[in-house]
Amino acid sequence: METKKLNLKNSMSELEKANNLTPGAVLGIRRPYNFVEDEFPIYFEKGKGSRVIDIDGNEYIDFLCAYGPIIFGYREEEIDKAVIDQIENKGFCFSLTQTIQNRLSEKLIELIPSAEMTVFLKTGSSAATLAVRTARSYTGKNKIMRCGYHGWHYWCSKVKGGIPEKLQADVYEFEYNNLQSLEKLMQQHGGETAAVILTPIGHPLGHKIEEPEPGFLEGVRELTKKYNTLLIFDEIRTGFRISLGGAQQYYGVTPDLSLFGKAMANGYSIGALVGKKEIMKEIEENVFVSSTFFPNSLSFAAALKTIEKMEKEDVLAEIWDKGRRFQIQLKKILEKYDVGAEYSGIPPMPYITFKRDTENIYKSKRSDFYAQLIRHKVFMQPYHHGYICSRHTEEDLVYTLNAVEDSLRYLKKKY
């Protein structure tokens, strides 16, 4: 049975207003066409724990977690209090750096296998660009081999508007879990390659998540050594979610440089480049990086408290456990209804996609499925994997499984 459509009157009114104020109304992946248009809300009003409320008063169980930064839940009191204490008792924006930065550096160096030094920024895109620039300066080479999403900056943007071709001329893409595709590129360009950068778990937009096949990450590591090239792991999504030391710790492959952010500060804006001291020292004199806001300490306070709570409460083990149980039940439901729906991902990062077909019926199924799901007030994204956070309750997960089953039952009847 089809579920009743939500009242989104206020969201649509604000969207109409915003179209005259901001190009596209809202930015990038938050635009309506990245969901199901006229079915998903455009604006949230507030959130708490695992729940978010839109400006029409609809409350959702949120599995997108702000695209990954929320590891505990929204408005996590201890973390917010640490930030408020920093504001009220010390301040956060000065002409010089506060020593809280050193405390966070020490913590990352303690936890992350590749971290011997750190540089803090505000976004993953900035961290990725700094990593590439540092690799080029350190090696004296220009070419970059890349695999995965690394942000919106000129060298890696998929959308080419405003980017001169020459700025991407030395960047080559290879396929995840296809070591041969990288080998072929390195045979051609290895001597001129500064770095290989990849997401250690494959998460291409709108496609199934892929874990590394046995030997893939190890093979990439060996190729970089063979050609005297740096290995960079983009751990913006996997860091502080798969393990405290990231996917590199979980899979046992240590890169030369790594990017972290998102879950590290439970929603406060932070990015970090970490790596071997010899390479990171290149930034001291030869690589320029500067920002008025990079040293702002609110994100440092949030990150330190987030990590402290994660260690003390063993939060990632809890998330993995919830995710495993959710995964087992979700797979059973998907198998029960033969409509082409597929599960992929790891327990902390679940995703439901649809098998592609020559007539592209899967696109209609996907839209119908996610429309039904949002009508059940379960917030997942058609083109982006989800996340399990600490504040997702057993009741949340059971309700979501029932909503998924209802939505698949609707698809089975319709198709």
Give the model confidence (pLDDT) of 308-338 as tens digits: 999 999 999 999 999 999 999 999 999 999 9
Task: Categorize the per-residue pLDDT at 187 as very low, low, confident or very high, splitting at 50, 70 and 90.
Answer: very high
- Where helices occur in 190-314 by DSSP H, the ranges are 216-226, 246-251, 277-280, 282-285, 298-313
Tens of pLDDT, residue by residue over 28-62, are: 999 999 999 999 999 999 999 999 999 999 999 99
What architecture does CATH give domain 9-75+315-414? Answer: Alpha-Beta Complex (3.90)
| Beta-carbon count within 10 A of 414 CB | 12
Structure tokens at 223: 């190729």
CATH of domain 77-313: 3.40.640.10
pLDDT for 60: 98
pLDDT band, residue 260 (cuts 50/70/90): very high
Helix, strand counts (H, E) of the chain = 13, 13
Q: Over the stretch 123-151, which tens digit does the pLDDT of each residue have?
A: 999 999 999 999 999 999 999 999 999 99
pLDDT tops 90 at residue 2: no
Question: What is the predicted pLDDT for the residue at 205?
Answer: 85
Domain boundaries, the chain: 9-75+315-414, 77-313
pTM: 0.96
Whole-angstrom CA distances from 88 to 82, 85, 95 are: 10, 5, 18
What is the Cα–Cα distance from 410 to 367, expressed in whole angstroms?
12
Which among 75, 36, 106 has a CA at the least distance from the CA of 365?
36
Asked if 378 and 61 count as a contact pair (C-beta separation under 8 A), the reply is yes
State the Cα angle at 249 between 247 and 254, rounded to 5°. 90
pLDDT over 80 (residue 355)? yes
Per-residue model confidence (pLDDT) at position 292:
94
Residue keyed to tokens 């070591």: 179
